[in-house]
Amino acid sequence: MNNTITDTNFNFPGQKSVYKGKVREVYALEHDLLVMVATDRLSAFDVVMPKGIPYKGQILNQIATKMMGATEDIVPNWLIATPDPNVAVGHACEPFKVEMVIRGYMSGHAAREYKAGRRILCGISMPEGMKENDKFPAPIITPATKAEKGDHDEDISREDILKKGIVSEEDYLVLEKYTRALFQRGTEIAAERGLILVDTKYEFGKTKEGKIVLIDEIHTPDSSRYFYADGYQERQDRGAVQKQLSKEFVRQWLIQNGFQGLEGQTVPEMSDDYIKSVSERYIELYENITGETFIKADISNIQSRIEQNVLSFLNQ
């Protein structure tokens, strides 16, 4: 379990700054280049777990890369190259301070709100009489923004985004259009794999030329929820739990072990066997989402491998 990458401290040529997110570490270089390293850190309920998951960073990076390629004809993105299994290099952008969450089904956070008796989510009405994991009449966009204190995501309505000037109306209309187009394409790709794209989030930024582009990750099990299409309706009809491909299985394990990221709660101990099972589940996710066999990268010295591959790319 030691062969994971949970922290980096690179010093690339022309490096100006480093930003460390919950899972990714972003190195800003000269000439408006970003080097994004997908680590093996596991985050749930906005808390980073103490141990890394083998191959998780590689899996997220490679799924995102494939999905960027599969959607670049409808939405431009930030990506230039992937010189290492854990690394993406792309154009520096000014990120919009909202995440565009889109939901085709009432699952996860939406279902938890619904169970609590709330019928309005981010200013959008949810119909009465729905069961958890039912399909919405049409996909709904429920944006999130970072809380002023801490790193927690908070629901926000379109009206509040515009009223507070977080995004201009002109730009927000583009974000909505891109979000719906990406979700439609993601839904089609998932259907080809026998999957249902339940919900997902997209992040966008603006290049120095003023072009809005897709950034970060897309259609990965960390940013999206998938169900198996086979048996979906039958499970709904009898009120059974849906068979799903997402990080939700980790969240459910944490909830069962008394952790939801609330004050005073302690992250439960993750045994090596549990870590291995999570890694195997991520590999299963990769193979189902992409339809390809996962090829494990050499993890004998991940830091050295990444450094050599990025330097080789930059020297070109």
CA 181 to chain centre: 17
Please tell me the predicted confidence (pLDDT) of residue 275: 92
Half-sphere exposure of 224 (CA within 13 A, CB side): 29
Please tell me the predicted confidence (pLDDT) of residue 150: 53
| DSSP output for 99-117 | BEEEEEES-HHHHHHHHTT
The sign one gets for the Cα dihedral 249, 251, 252, 254 is positive
Q: Average of pLDDT values for 12-23?
A: 93
pLDDT tens figures, 92-126: 999 999 999 999 999 989 999 999 999 999 999 99
Per-residue pLDDT at 1 exceeds 50: no
Per-residue pLDDT at 176 exceeds 70: yes
Token pair 């050295």 is at which residue?
304
Q: What is the CA radius of gyration of the chain?
A: 19
pLDDT tens figures, 45-82: 888 898 999 999 999 999 999 999 999 999 999 999 99
Per-residue pLDDT at 2 exceeds 50: yes
pLDDT tens figures, 126-140: 999 999 999 999 999
Per-residue pLDDT at 244 exceeds 70: yes
Half-sphere exposure of 57 (CA within 13 A, CB side): 30
Please tell me the predicted confidence (pLDDT) of residue 245: 77
Per-residue pLDDT at 83 exceeds 60: yes
Q: 28: how many CB neighbours lie within 10 A of its CB? A: 16
Please tell me the predicted confidence (pLDDT) of residue 290: 93
CB 276 within 8 A of CB 3: no
Distance CA 176, CA 141 (A): 8
pLDDT tens figures, 296-309: 999 999 999 999 99
Per-residue pLDDT at 248 exceeds 90: no
Distances in Å between the Cα of 25 and the Cα atoms of 8, 11, 179, 303 are 8, 13, 24, 13
Q: What are phi and psi of 100, to 5 degrees?
A: -90, 100
Given phi > 0 = left and psi -120 to 50 = alpha, else beta, which region is 208? alpha
| b/e burial code for range 295-305 (CB count within 10 A of at least 16 → b) | eebebeebeeb
Please tell me the predicted confidence (pLDDT) of residue 106: 97
Angle, nearest 10°, between helix axes 272-290 and 56-71?
Answer: 20
Domains of the chain: 15-93+273-315 (3.30.200.20), 95-245 (3.30.470.20)
Q: Average of pLDDT values for 263-285?
A: 91
Q: What integer best gives the mean pLDDT of the chain?
A: 93
Distance CA 153, CA 130 (A): 25
CA quadruple 105, 106, 110, 115: dihedral, nearest 10: 180
Distance CA 228, CA 9 (A): 39
CB 227 within 8 A of CB 190: no
